Amino acid sequence: MRPLVHRLPVLFAAVLALFLSGCILSEGPLFDTADAVTPLEPGRYEARERADDGTFKPTGKAVTLTLAGTTYTMSEEGQDPVPFTLYEEADGLFVAMAHDPDEPEAGYAPLRIEGGEIVFWAAVCEVAEDNGVLANYPQIENDGLSCTLPDKDTLVAFLGAYAATAQPDFRYVLVNRT
């Protein structure tokens, strides 16, 4: 059975919003926003979701990515905008961090940039458990809905292992630069 995230028409903005309500979390931000990088091109992106056959099919929806300083904001019509920052790690992995200053938790997901496209994993604790990644990190708290990471090094290693073992969920193709 496909994980819930694969059965819903979830887009990048909606997945980023999930950062603040579950999935891969920390008790506070694990990155310093002064270290954020800005490799993504602001503009309008076509969203493509991974199909059962492993190919990426257009969803018919687009998201808009804006940049102010080092903070991106992802918007989809009818959804609340989601601000996030990116941090570059080893082997071309980027970690997206969403943190609402009014909330204690921060949320995370891995992504890569391949051929100008954003390759995005909607990191889900259940998938990490199913593919054996979670078993390698006993220090991660799993409450059945989300995984809470204790520190930056564990987070980066965990997300790298996740991206290496799970298929990406979405690809975003730049349609118009802004």
What tokens were used for 125? 């604790």
Domain boundaries, the chain: 4-169
Full DSSP string of 36-101: -B--SPPEEEEEEEEPTTS-EEEEEEEEEEEEETTEEEEE-TTS--EEEEEEE-GGG-EEEEEE-T
178 vs 174: CA distance, rounded Å: 10
- The band of 78, judged by pLDDT with boundaries at 50, 70 and 90, is confident
How does pLDDT run across 83-101, given as a tens digit for each residue?
999 999 999 999 999 998 8
Residue 169, pLDDT above cutoff 70: yes
Once rounded to an integer, what is the mean pLDDT over residues 110-133? 93
Instruction: Tell me the pLDDT tens digit for each residue of 37-66.
Output: 999 999 999 999 999 999 999 999 899 999
pLDDT reported for residue 16:
52
